[in-house]
């Protein structure tokens, strides 16, 4: 077998508070940012205690390091919107002699605006210098479904209503036949079956103010609806994310918790997979489906 390396890709988070403007500019791809939106984003990171260092990126590094040990292959982190960039990770892999590169994104569901973008960045960086194997989607992976079901069951009681969530995207993806929503519903249904849930629903979160319609319902509106229907106990299971980052720590742990308190709802969420060994084994299994890597005994 030719020499193999893995490029493990994630959204990325600014290292320090002073990096936020450059980070946001990268996300916006050069489109202008209203000053109040920039101030709001800086304030969100600041309220999470991110000043001189960022624990959110440390989770990705811990995941990378554990995956490298689990696979016995070099694994390089490539961030979509921060450093180290996907291109830098690719250069490191090729400099280390990789002839085959496996691309794996720390986001389970395919969309042209999500995994499709990561793929484009990685393929462009590799060019014809190595063979690319790419994990296109993994929301239906049985190990991932089982992991989330196992985290869900202990935090549910007989009155709980489970809400599965994922990052919203501009609604125009539906006109383009994007599989994102179908994949999210398939993952949610599989987890609900596995955990034998009676009462559950799906909602989006983390919509960005870009001036166009986004997929809904948004989690805050959804909590209003659930409260109006008489639900009193809500458990959130974010299926579109795998780690504690801004979208979990702010949008759920801060904003959704505040809304739930106003509505008199009990609200909690599952622990995110982060760098849990069971999750790292799921990731390793995805890589092994692309290349023949012996399993650890
Ligand atoms: O922890 C962190 O510091 C970063 C958390 C973070 C994750 C994340 C994941 C996804 N996003 C996706 C789509 C979009 C689209 C736009 C967009 C905008 C933002 C902004 C921040 C941000 N996203 Fe994000 N996203 C994270 C953070 N995202 C910050 C900009 C400010 C704001 O809206 O609050 C709109 C871009 C544009 O303006 O054109 C679209 C998708 C995911 C899940 C897949 C993945 O992780 O890659 C999809 C984590």
Residue with tokens 């809904």: 216
Q: What is the pTM of this model?
A: 0.97
| pLDDT in the model for residue 55 | 85
User: Would you say the CB of residue 193 lies under 6 angstroms from ligand 1?
Assistant: no
pLDDT, average across residues 62-90 = 98
DSSP state of 214: B
Taking 70 as the threshold, does the pLDDT of residue 297 lie above it?
no
Q: Is 13 in the pocket of ligand 1 (CB under 6 A)?
A: yes
Q: What is the residue-averaged pLDDT of the chain?
A: 96
Q: Are 101 and 24 in contact (CB under 8 A)?
A: no
If you average pLDDT over residues 103-128, what whole number do you get? 98
Say if ligand 1 is within 6 A of residue 87 CB. no
> Is residue 56 within 6 Å of ligand 1 at its C-beta?
yes
- Over residues 28-57, the pLDDT tens digits come to 998 999 999 999 999 999 999 999 988 889
**Token reading at 289:** 């489906």
pLDDT band at 187 (very low <50, low <70, confident <90, very high): very high
Tokens of 280: 């790292």
Dump the DSSP string for 219-231.
HHHHHHHHHHTT-
Helix (H, G, I), strand (E, B) or coil at 2: coil
Q: Is the pLDDT of residue 296 over 80?
A: no
| Total Cβ atoms within 10 A of residue 27 | 15
Q: What confidence tier does 1 reach under pLDDT thresholds 50, 70, 90?
A: low
For the CA of 54, the nearest atom of ligand 1: 3
- Which numbered atom of ligand 1 lies nearest the CA of 24? 30
- Please give the pLDDT value at position 293: 81
Coil, helix or strand for 159?
coil
Instruction: Check pocket membership of 109 for ligand 1, CB cut-off 6 A.
Output: no
Among residues 272, 245, 290, which one has the least CA distance to residue 138? 290
Q: How far apart are CA 65 and CA 210, in angstroms?
A: 36
pLDDT category, 283, cuts 50, 70, 90? very high
Ligand 1 atom nearest 210 alpha carbon: 38
pLDDT per residue as tens digits for the range 229-262: 999 999 999 999 999 999 999 999 999 999 999 9
Triad 137, 106, 193: Cα angle to 5°: 60
Structure tokens at 190: 């599989």
Asked whether 184 lines ligand 1 (CB < 6 A), one says no
Match 């890709």 to its residue by tokens. 9
Q: What span, in angstroms and rounded, lies between the C-alpha atoms of 148 and 191?
A: 7
In whole angstroms, give the CA distance from residue 88 to residue 122.
Answer: 10
Residue 56: per-residue pLDDT? 86
Percentage of the chain beyond pLDDT 70 is 99
CB 68 within 8 A of CB 60: no
How many Å lie between the centroid of ligand 1 and the Cα of residue 73? Answer: 29
User: Rounded distance, CA 185 to CA 165, Å?
Assistant: 10
250 is written with which tokens?
A: 């702010």
Among protein residues, the one whose CA lies closest to atom 49 of ligand 1: 11
Give the closest residue to 165 by CA, choosing from 118, 201, 212, 127.
201
pLDDT per position as a tens digit, 167-182: 999 999 999 999 999 9
Taking residues 135-158, what's their average pLDDT? 97
Percentage with pLDDT > 90 across the chain = 95
pLDDT at 195 over 60: yes
Helices 180-194 and 142-152: crossing angle in degrees, nearest 10, is 60
User: Would you say 218 and 207 are in contact if contact means Cβ atoms under 8 Å apart?
Assistant: yes
Q: Ligand 1 pocket test: which of 167, 173, 183, 238 has the largest number of ligand atoms within 8 Å of its C-beta?
A: 167
């Amino acid at each position: 077998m030719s020499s193999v390396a893995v490029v493990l890709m994630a959204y990325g988070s600014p290292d320090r508070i002073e990096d936020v403007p450059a980070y946001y500019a990268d996300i916006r791809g050069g489109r202008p940012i209203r000053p109040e939106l920039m101030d709001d984003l800086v304030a969100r990171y600041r309220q999470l205690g991110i000043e001189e260092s960022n624990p959110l990126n440390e989770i990705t590094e811990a995941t990378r390091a554990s995956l490298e040990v689990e696979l016995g292959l070099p694994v390089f982190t490539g961030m979509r919107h921060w450093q180290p960039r996907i291109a830098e990770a690719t250069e490191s892999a090729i400099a280390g002699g990789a002839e085959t590169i496996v691309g794996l994104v720390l986001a389970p569901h395919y969309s042209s605006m999500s995994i499709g973008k990561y793929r484009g960045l990685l393929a462009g960086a590799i060019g014809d210098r190595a063979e690319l194997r790419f994990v296109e989607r993994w929301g239906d992976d049985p190990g991932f479904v089982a992991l989330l079901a196992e985290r869900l069951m202990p935090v549910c009681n007989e009155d709980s209503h489970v809400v599965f969530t994922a990052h919203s995207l501009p609604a125009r993806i539906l006109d383009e036949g994007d599989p994102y929503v179908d994949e999210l519903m398939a993952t949610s249904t599989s987890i609900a079956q596995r955990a034998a849930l009676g009462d559950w629903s799906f909602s989006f979160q983390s919509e960005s103010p870009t001036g166009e319609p986004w997929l809904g319902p948004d989690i805050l509106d959804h909590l209003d609806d659930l409260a109006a229907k008489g639900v009193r106990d809500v458990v959130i299971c974010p299926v579109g994310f795998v780690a504690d980052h801004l979208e979990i720590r702010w949008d759920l742990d801060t904003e959704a918790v505040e809304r739930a308190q106003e509505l008199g709802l009990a609200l909690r969420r599952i622990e995110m997979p982060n760098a849990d060994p069971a999750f790292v084994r799921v990731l390793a299994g995805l890589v092994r489906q692309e290349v023949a890597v012996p399993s650890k005994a």
